[in-house]
Each structure stands twice: as structure tokens, then as C-alpha cells.
Structure 1
């Protein structure tokens, strides 16, 4: 029974993400290494699940290890230059054949529908074709790259029609020119351009590692593009992690809202990354123009302007400038172009190992893009750093928002004694609590 309840609890908490992702377009890069991992059948099942939830999928297929083996069998040596495999004419056919074999295998697995498998009853329609228009790299630094190319454009109009007809689209790492030539492309380049030109909501890259780790070995669950670029400059990442992170940064710098790195070696990583708050990899977003940071005294004026309309409506308890100045170290803010557009506060009750979340507010002009969720995540992180085990709040108008994010209603007697003594019975606020994991 406990395991069943854990499943029910997880499913309930995943519902906001299910609703948020429905109808969105995700570009997912599946490198050749992923197709040879122990969990690849589970990855296929997870893709089928995303399709059934109404997510529009564009899969980009890589084939590096398969091409390496095909060329090795012909005693042919691959030469790489600046990350590109040089493709002479005599190797092109072997590369095409290796890529085609991978594509057929992938399409076959996406067609499985046995009654005793997780894909029972799935009716996936998978389409592939000449949707990637390419041009030759040509001669770079005196080196002729042969039939290695770069993406010229993605036939986004044709792909949109397929997606609207509930098709899953498969893009190989091969591109075609208007003159009828075939070019070998970097799968990462195809994925980036597909995400950019399709205006996808996410680019997701399967890689060997879960994501990017700090010097202490802790996984970064989220990085803004600026911080990711600093990490890349240090050039201390494993090769494939470096390549994946470069692709993610390139995508968000071209206005793809989010890019994710997850591991094909971790069973269920895709579902955990998309449907749990903790995730399973590293997410990169383009928020260099916005900063989530601790508040300081110069922010008080902006915070007052942000809180005043909510105080006038009775949503928040009124706070004076003097009180805000005295408690400014309790606040975090989101600053955008010099303006305070969101804020929240954490008041710790150390004796009870509890913290109060208060004053969570987002400017009406800047609602969206999960700013409220970013504030909540920042407060939860701060609470954990202070070794607080629970987070509680009092609210009169926003109960459902917090319920959707894991809070449950509780009684006044569960609050710290000092907070109980200050409870305003006239406001009759509802009380919610969340256990911090």
C-alpha cells in the first residue's frame, strides 16, 4: 500500500507539468550512444508516453558509434576537425548506410505495440524525410571537409503540418541540398536549428552524464546561459558533456526558452526532468537579463510598489517601509532591467525547524515564465540551507496555487507558538504546509 500511495502522490504532483506541457513542441536529440544503452527500450516507452500526453515531438537522430564501426569494418579512418567528421566521397555511402540502419531500428522500436509492453495500444505515427536543407562546409583553414555540411534551413512549414496531424517527426543527421547532394551533419547542429526554427518550447539532449556538476560533485539542476558559458570557458568538462552544454547554450541564446541535458544511462530521466520539481538533469535558460538574488536596502522602494496593490486588495498584510527595511534580509527578489518584478520572504522558526513563506508577489506585467515557481524554489533552497524541515504559509486568496505545488492545508495548532500568538482571526487566513525533502 505505501508504494501505491507514493505513486498516487507522484501522479498528483505531476499534473501541473502535464497540463503545462500539453500542446508544446519538444526537440529531443537521441545520439547513437543512447540507442545502444541498456535503458533504450525505456526511453522509447517514455517518448510514447509524452506523445500520448499531447506533446509534439521532433526527434533528432545521431549515429556516431555506428558510423565509427561501419568505417572500421572497411579499414577506413575518420578524421575530425573542430568537432566535424570530415566526409570524403569514398566514405559517404558507408555513413549513409549506417545512419539509415539506425533510423530504421528507431522507427521499428517506435512501432512496437505488444500487449505485454508499456507501449500496448500505442499508435505512433513516425515521419521522416528531406526536411533538413544543408550546404557544404567547404574548405576551412585549408582543409576540405568534403561532404560534411551545415544546416541551411529546416522545412518548418512541412514539419508543422506533420505535428498538427499527430505525427512524431524524425530528423536524421543527414541534410540535402537543392542540387541533390547529401551532407553529413553534426546531430547537435540539426537539433539546435530544429529547435530554433520550429520555435520549440524545449531542446532536450540525451548525453552520457546527467548534466553539469560543480567542483564538489553536485549536479547543477539549473544554469542561466551566462553561468553555463563561464563553465564552458574553463574547458574542464567531459567531451560529450561539453558538446551537449554548448548546444544547449546555443539554443537558448537563439530564444529557445529552455534546454535540458539528461543521461541516457539513467532509467526514466526524461520523465523525472519534465514531471518532477527536482528534475533529473541540468536545465539551461536564457535569463541573463533577469536575476534572482537576495534583496538589499536599495530594493525597498521597488518592493513597496510591487506589494502595495496586493495589500490594497487585502491579499497581503500591509508592511511599512520601516518594517521592510528592517526585514529586507529575509527577502529574495527577481530584478529585470533594474526593476524589481517579483519578491518573496522567508521567516525562520529555528526551534521548530520551520519556516514561513510570506510576501510572494509577481508584478502583473511580468506574470508568466514561471517567475512564481522560481521564487518558491529559491525560498525552499534557502530553507533547506538553514536546515528547516517544513515550510508553511498563510493565505486568503491563492490557496490553489500552493496546493498545486505540494502544500496541504493544516490547522493553526501546527504552527510555531510565536506564529499562533500573532494569528489574525479577522483575516481568517488558511494555513498550508509543505515538508521539504
Structure 2
């Protein structure tokens, strides 16, 4: 497939997200190490692209590697405790120098206007200010935190004014007190609290990981709700680096407080940010108040999706042809699996209560969502529905997918095992095989 041929389906996939994200507010936080990476120039270009699509961006940076370098150069002592920078006096000045250097580099990259730059001429303006009001942390666990602070208040109205003016707002990990003192702040706290105060649509952390949050066995965790993510972090997150744990906790806290969605993605891949935002599969870990994958009863508005999902399987003979009118008549028996708000699969459950049985029919998963376990989710859902209805057995008629059902506990039976009404309508010419499975108790 040539480049143009690949572009068209990708653009079609991205189009709904481009439309939905326009005028939304994204808070994007990243580590200072990314600024010193060759990947940072591409990241800056992606930010400019997002701004060009009408997305309102608040950018928050850390500066720990640069601060450590400043301390080493000036032969000063500084420390880190609980993921926090502990500085005072000369070391606090070194902290400010490190933060200032990172901020200057970010602004320089966001100002790039060379002809080869994809958004050259877009005139992206970067705004900053004393938006973060802080107070000292004091003594924690017997450790004097010196210049480390905690957020007291965020000037969210001031930030909104700059966003309304079409500017990108850049926040550094520095807060200021009403008495003129400066305090170092934690990246995850600034990001989570800013996103919450702004009622942001997305909070995005770019982390020093490959793609997303993985368990100790290396399995990528695609999605969490705040409750599930909190349990997972407590029970299984011990292997994560401290900074990653803190950012995940901040993301969970923000979503629980009303932020629509948070994303934890790796900074190692140049395309991670755009892939996470504009593809159905994403690239990392998403956190949302409601599950990204949801099975629900079908509605009238799902008819077009049902036709689209079943058409490829009808064309190849795996499903019996069902027209739109027939689907509409039996819609009450259908369920739809949604992924991120889009219909990704469907299934029907036709009950035969007199026989204590139910037919599983019209199981279909869209091409783009296959091999992700969605078929099993649909099967589990209808099995629960059958059990709730007091039915004891599921049956299915199939011509080409027998092995899939056998692997899930179905056993072959003769048409005589079917309910009488279904047996009377059995199409012997199609020669569908019958498989039956007890409903799990």
C-alpha cells in the first residue's frame, strides 16, 4: 500500500477526534529529561500542531536533571525526598537557574519558524506568569523540606484568559507566596491541581517509560477507572519507578476530582502523543471515570452501526443476512460494545424461556477492534444476561467459527437439542453446526 493509500484510512480514523478536541483544554506534563533529548524538537512540533487544531494547551515541565547538573557544576548540596526537591539558600538559586534554563529552551523550540517546520507561520504565543500560589511544606517525616512547597491556590481565571487569547500557557515547577518567597513544586501536583481547577478535558503525562503503565510481567495496562487504578497501584505498582507512581497517583486523583480523562504515555516514541490522541488503539494507558469499554443494550441510534458491523460477516457467509428492518424489529435483543464512545462490536441474545435456553447470535467485532478480547466481553455479557433471566443454557448456530466457541466451552450437539421453535426454523440447507454450553452459575 502506497503512502497516499495508507493516509486516507488513518485520516478517517483521526477525523472524529480532530472534531471533538477542538476548543478542548489539555494539560500536558513532562519530565525535564525530554528537553535535553533529540526528540524534544518533534514534541514541540506536535504541540504546535495541536494548537493549530484549536486545542487549548497548558504545558507543565519538570527540571530535575538540569537542577542536578547545576548543583554539580556549582558544587552545591541539594536533595530529593519523596520525589521532591529540597533546596535552600544557594541551592535554591541553582534550582531556579535549572528551571529557568529549561523554560527558555521550551520557549525557543515552540517559537521555531523555519520553513521545514510543519506549522511554520502559525505564530504560537507562549504565556507565563505567577499563576501558582504556594506555601512551605515544612517538616515531613522528620525531614526539613526547606524550599519545597505545596500549592495553595491556582489562578485558573488568569490561565483561562491567556487560553482564550489563543496562547499556550507554560507553567514551571515554581510557586510563589504572598510574602515574595519561592518554592519548588512537584510536577504531578501542579499538573493534577491545574487540570482540576481548569476542569480540563485531558491531563496527559509523558513519562520515562516505553509506552504506558505495565505490570510486573510486562503486560500493558490499557485503561483504568480511578477506583480500579488506585487498587492496582497499591497492590501491583511497587515495581514502578517513583516518579511514574507519583504521576499515576496524580492522574487518578485528577480524574476522581472531575477531569474528563488522563493519559500516561511514554516519551520514548516520537509519535506517542499523536497516536494516543488520534487513534482508536492509542499508545499508552488511559484513566477515565467510566470504563473505556462498555457493553450496553442497543438503541435506535445504533442501527447504522449494527449494519456496518455485521455487513462484512454477512458478505463472507459467517452470518445470516439481516436487513436494517429485521434488525430494527429485534433491536431489544441486541447489545452493543462501545470503545471510547464508538460502536466496536455487537451481539444478540434471543431467549427461549420455555426451554430454559437462549440463542447467542450475530456476534460481530469491527475489523479495527479485533484481537483485543472484545468477543469474549460480549460473550460474558450475554451469559450474565441469560443467567439473570433464569436461563440455564446458551446455544449458537455457526458455519465457520466453530473452533472459537469450542475453545470457550461450547460442545457440539445435533439440531434436536434446539428449542422446538428454533428447530422448526432450522435451515438444513445452510448446514449450520449447533453448539451448546451451560450458563455459568
TM-score by length of 2: 0.70
- Is the Cα–Cα contact under 8 Å of residues 17 and 274 in structure 1 kept in the other structure? yes
- 1:179-328 alignment, distance < 5 Å: 179-209=179-209, 210-233=211-234, 234=236, 235-287=238-290, 292=294, 316-319=327-330
Q: CA deviation at 1:291?
A: 8.6
Count of aligned pairs: 345
Distance 1:243 1:314 in 2: 53
Q: Secondary structure at the match of 2:372?
A: helix
Partner of 1:426: none
Distance of aligned partners of 1:176 and 1:309 in 2 relative to their CA distance in 1, 3 Å threshold: closer
Q: Secondary structure at the match of 1:29?
A: strand
1:259–1:66 Cα change, 3 Å = same
Partner of 1:57, secondary structure, is: strand
**Do 2:84 and 2:148's aligned partners in 1 also have CA atoms closer than 8 Å?**
yes
CA distance in 2, matches of 1:315, 1:190: 54
Partner Cα separation in structure 1 for residue 135 and residue 144 of structure 2: 14
Counterparts of 1:37-56 in structure 2, within 5 Å, are 37-56=37-56
> Over residues 159-214 of structure 1, what are the superposed CA-to-partner deviations in whole Å (9 max), with x where a residue is unaligned?
11110110000000001111111111111111111100011100000101121113
Aligned match of 1:372: none
Please say if 1:148 is aligned against 2:113. no
Q: Is 2:120 the counterpart of 1:129?
A: no
8 A contact 1:89–1:146 mirrored in 2: no
> How far 1:90 moved relative to its partner?
2.9
Aligned to 1:405: none
Q: How far is 1:240 from its partner?
A: 3.0
Which residue of 1 is the match for residue 313 of structure 2?
none
Distance 2:101 2:255 in 1: 32
3-state secondary structure, aligned to 1:271: helix
CA distance in 2, matches of 1:320, 1:92: 66
1:392-403 residue pairs with structure 2 within 5 A? Answer: none
Q: Distance in 1 between matches of 2:186 and 2:331?
A: 58
Report the TM-score, using the length of structure 1 for normalisation: 0.70
Q: CA RMSD in A?
A: 3.6
Residue 178 of structure 2 aligns to a residue in which SS? coil
Gaps in structure 1 of 5+ consecutive residues: 296-302, 325-329, 335-341, 349-353, 359-374, 387-414, 423-437
Please name the residue that 1:393 is paired with.
none
Q: Could you report, residue by residue, the CA deviation over 1:202-232 in whole angstroms, capped at 9, with x for unpaired residues?
A: 0000101121113542322222222221221
Q: Which runs of 5+ in 2 are unaligned?
A: 304-323, 350-360, 378-398, 402-424, 427-441
Question: For the structure 1 residues 319 and 65, does the alpha-carbon distance in structure 2 shift closer, same or farther, using more than 3 Å as the test?
Answer: same
**Matched residue, 1:412:** none
Matches within 5 A, 1:357-372: 357=364
Conserved 8 A contact 1:347-1:357: no
Residue 14 of structure 2 corresponds to residue 3 of structure 1: no
CA distance in structure 2 between the partners assigned to 1:150 and 1:315 by the alignment? 61
**Rg larger for:** 2
**3-state DSSP class of the match of 1:36?**
coil
Which has the larger displacement, 223-232 or 266-275?
A: 223-232
Is 1:381 the counterpart of 2:366? The answer is no
